[in-house]
Amino acid sequence: MTDNPLISTVDLCKDFGKLKVLKKINVSINSGDVVAVIGPSGSGKSTFIRTLNLLETPTSGHIYFEGVDITDPKININKHREKMGMVFQQFNLFNNMTVLDNITLAPMKVQKKKRKEAEEIAFQLLKKVGLLDRAKNYPSQLSGGQKQRIAIVRALAMKPDVMLFDEPTSALDPEMVGEVLNVISDLANDGMTMVIVTHEMGFAREVADRVIFMDDGVFVEEGTPKSFFSSPKTERAKSFLSKIL
């Protein structure tokens, strides 16, 4: 297992009608990696991360997760999604449930945990992100930053092997970005494998151990944050960085 990557894609393509959004993506992500995916809007970053757990069905190509080809129509995708936590730009907390129920639903329904056990895990995680007192609240009573921290906790409660973040701070007010990034940084320090689509370059530089620059449906450049941000090799990466830094 150790020499196999946790996730790898082979010639991954995704079309929306005539529009080719992903063009033959090949990547491998090892256990413990923290990968930041950056690039201009419309470059296919979000589509890429959403295909990794098949929220978008790939048009062609393969995705291997823990040695299993999850694009194979015969596998039960729910079994594998369990192990891939996902955090969305719009939080997507279940509006009809309290924070606690949001967190315990999947452990109880999918992993068949007892309520008590699921709640213990939930309380532990809530304490970690400093939101223990919010357990009985509904999502509409929380701020954006709180919602996103709860969304992270909800994904973590399933004890995933990898966390996928789809622009986790893009819908937040600026003063709330920090609290969410702190939680993600803590996760990175705990050794969680993560793929993060982000516009926060400072954060990518600090937390990621690999940066992927994506443009027009392809991985244009890959490297350590240090080399990528200080000396990008491709013209496209240079012009992108000059616009945003």
Partner 1 sequence: MTEWFNDLIAEFKLNFIDGDKWTWLFEGLGNTLLITFFAVIMGIVIGIIVATVRSTYDTNKESMKKRGGIRYIVISFFNIICNIYLTVIRGTPVVVQLMISYFIIFSFSRNGVLIAILTFGINSGAYVAEIFRGGIVSVDKGQLEAGRSLGLSYVQTMIHIVIPQMFKIVLPTLCNEFIVLLKETSVAGYVGIMDLTKAGDLIRGRTYSAFMPLIAVAVIYLLMVILFTWLVRKLERRLRDSDR
> Applying CB under 8 A, which residues contact partner 1?
53, 55, 57, 73, 78-79, 81-82, 84-86, 88, 90, 92-97, 105-106, 109-110, 138-141, 151, 154-155, 158
Cβ of residue 106: shortest distance to partner 1, in angstroms? 4
Cβ of residue 30: shortest distance to partner 1, in angstroms? 22
Residue among 6 and 99 whose Cβ is closer to partner 1: 99
Cβ of residue 33: shortest distance to partner 1, in angstroms? 20
Here the tokens at position 106 are 């999947």
Which residues are bridge partners to 10 per DSSP?
Answer: 62
Dihedral sign, CA of 126, 130, 132, 133? negative
- The one-letter amino acid at 130: G
Dihedral sign, CA of 31, 170, 200, 181? negative
Cβ of residue 160: shortest distance to partner 1, in angstroms? 9
Helix (H) or strand (E) holding 176: helix 174-189
Residue among 57 and 234 whose Cβ is closer to partner 1: 57
Residue among 9 and 102 whose Cβ is closer to partner 1: 102
Cβ of residue 245: shortest distance to partner 1, in angstroms? 31
Residue among 35 and 151 whose Cβ is closer to partner 1: 151
